[in-house]
Amino acid sequence: MKINKLYIAVLLTSGFVLQSCKDNSFLDVPSKERVEAEDSETVNTPEQFVNGIYGMFTDWDYAFSFLGVTEMISDNADKGSSSTDAGGDKLLLDNLTYTSTAGSFLSMWKRWYKSIGRASQAIDYTEKYGLTDEAYKNRLIGEARFLRALNYFYLVRGWGDVPIQDRDLIKREPASEVYAYIEADLQFAIDNLPIKSAYAAKDLGRATKGAAQGLLSKVYLYQSKWQQAADLAKTVINSGGYSLETDYAKIWRLEGENGSESLFEWQARGSSIAHGIQQYSQVQAPRGGAVNLGWGFNIPSQNLLDAFNAEKDNIRRDATIIFRGETLYDGRLIDNGVENPMYNEKAYSSANGGAGDTDKNVRYLRLGEIYLILAEASNELGNSNEALNALNTVRKRVKLAEITTTDQTQLRQLIWKERRLELAFEHDRWFDLIRTKQAKTAMAADGKTFQDKMLLFPIPEDQRIQIPEMPQNSGW
């Protein structure tokens, strides 16, 4: 029988990505960056190709480089760990002294483009495979396009103008074109994905209509498309498919995974066959002492703690921060011998402790954020009543006093503050600081010097060595 060899190329890196999965397990995805699929008996299915895109979220990059460019770089977090361990470029990111050679930028640039490559190849393969069930075919393509949009969203927020992979490997498209591409992918996903409750139990965690609507609402927010952001946020809220978890702390525990509030999570199992987000919990777990669960990186900053305390926001503070000497909800004591005074509780895994294969799902998008998108967009549209209703819905859950001001400028600042406290350590703080033009002031308050060139990440130097004609961002 003829042997088929399948190669899936990815742009903008020196390597290639090839996807092949040998069973129908949603998360059982090979961790290699290149796999040669020699198949003499069976044919790889489109669903297996799509599964391989999800698997990209379980890689080591999301346990270290990702933390560096989304949290440690911001005022939410410090490098942590030992003072003698710089964590590669993590101390540079924390201090805002990084350059274009910082390894974390290269890692995530490659990771996001490789994920896009898998998505595009899965789309092409599914379209040509010959599936006769149009709804199923379009669902798979919708999942791939949702995931492709998500990865482009990181790229455009980080670097601005970036290549659109299936158009040109070198030319950096204007950010507006990248956003239009993202919007088209998400609209297709909205039109073709099922609602969350329509999936079988075995498919829990796949992209849904609500996830695509929520992400598109967020994409609109980042472009100041206020009416579109508000309309889609209301669509999600009024869909009946989601509700706020009454106990904020429960969201981050095993019992809260894929719960009523969840629009989309990166799935993890915590076993060697289908590992979770590799070392995500271990890298951030308490370091030293008798407990000695992990490496202790990405710790809450004093600045963040002060923000919680100033708001008297004890519920979210205590669900977000592990304190030295604290006994956690599961009875584990974080003894006084640990190296750092605080750790990220949203990354804590009770069952896996500091194991490399964590069972911890990363909560990517949830209803709490959708309410805050509605609040911000409505305020910008001059609809203070709708903004206040959405904002106070989030505050009521954590027993904070209602906000009553209808002054647009004051309300804007309060909504931004609420985003920080509600979404701390959910990997958006840096992008929010850039989007809202708060970065220079916020980082100065954290003792760091923000330079205008930091409005965009530097194109990784290794990428420009490979493709010198790709222009660098200004100032780098």
User: What is the predicted pLDDT for the residue at 272?
Assistant: 53
> Using DSSP, how many helices (H) and how many strands (E) does the chain show?
17, 8
Question: Do residue 73 and residue 181 come from a single domain?
Answer: yes
Tokens 């008996």 belong to which residue? Answer: 41
| The pLDDT of residue 40 | 40
Q: What is the CATH number of the domain that holds 55?
A: 1.25.40.390
What span, in angstroms and rounded, lies between the C-alpha atoms of 440 and 348?
Answer: 31
133 occurs within a structural domain: yes
Q: Token pair of 229, please?
A: 């952001």
Q: Is residue 179 part of a domain?
A: yes
pLDDT for residue 29 is more than 50: no
Largest Cα–Cα separation, the chain: 73
Q: Which residues pair with 210 in a beta bridge?
A: none
Q: Which of 424, 67, 60 lies closest to 276 in space, CA to CA? A: 60
Whether residue 169 is contained in a domain is answered as: yes
Whether residues 69 and 195 fall in one domain: yes
Where in the sequence is the domain holding 347, given as residue range(s)?
A: 279-303+317-359
Query: Quick one: 203 and 287 in the same domain?
Result: no
Whether residues 182 and 297 share a domain: the answer is no
**Distance from C-alpha of 36 to C-alpha of 8, rounded to nearest angstrom:** 9
pLDDT band per the 50, 70, 90 thresholds, residue 355: confident
Is 370 a member of any domain? Answer: no
Residues 101 and 182 occupy one common structural domain: yes
Give the phi and the psi of residue 343 in degrees, each rounded to 5: -140, 165
Instruction: Write the pLDDT tens digit of every residue in 79-109.
Output: 999 999 999 999 999 999 999 999 999 999 9
- Rounded to whole angstroms, how far apart are CA atoms 258 and 254? 9
Query: Which residues does residue 173 pair with via DSSP β-bridges, in sequence order?
Result: 162
Domain boundary among 207, 231, 249: 207
- Distance CA(142)–CA(150), nearest Å, equals 12
Residues 122 and 202 in one domain: yes
Residue where a domain terminates, one of 191, 207, 223:
207
Residues 181, 48: one domain? yes
Say whether pLDDT at 3 is over 60.
no
Rounded to the nearest 5°, which phi and psi values hold at 389? -60, -45
Residues 180 and 295 in one domain: no
Residue 10: alpha-carbon gap to chain centroid: 21
pLDDT above 60: residue 12 = no
Domain check: are 168 and 286 in the same one? no
Helix 367-380 to helix 209-222 angle (10° resolution) is 40
Percent of the chain with pLDDT over 90: 86
Do 286 and 165 lie in one domain? The reply is no
State the alpha helices, DSSP H only, in 263-323. Answer: 280-284, 302-310, 314-320
Cα–Cα distance, 402 to 131 (Å, whole number): 53
Residue 225: band (very low, low, confident or very high) from pLDDT cuts 50, 70, 90: very high
In a domain, 364, yes or no: no
Gap between the Cα atoms of 266 and 380, Å rounded: 31
Sign of CA dihedral 351, 59, 119, 46: negative
Distance of CA 227 to the CA centre of its chain: 24
Inform me whether the pLDDT recorded for 75 exceeds 60: yes
Q: Is residue 83 part of a domain?
A: yes
Q: How many residues does the chain have?
A: 476
Domain end, chosen from 207, 224, 241, is at 207
Considering the domain architecture, whether residues 283 and 202 belong to the same structural domain is answered as: no
Least confident segment among 65-74, 163-172, 347-356: 347-356
Q: Is residue 225 part of a domain?
A: no
Give the single-character DSSP code of 23.
Answer: S
Q: Is residue 371 part of a domain?
A: no
CA distances in angstroms from 234 to 121, 438, 474, 475, listed in the order given: 33, 27, 38, 40
Count the domains in the chain.
2
Q: What is the pTM of this model?
A: 0.91
**How does pLDDT run across 39-74, given as a tens digit for each residue?**
446 678 999 999 999 999 999 999 999 999 999 999
pLDDT band (50, 70, 90) for residue 24: very low
**Do 197 and 292 belong together in one domain?**
no
Report pLDDT for 358.
Answer: 81
Instruction: Tell me which DSSP letter residue 338 carries.
Output: B
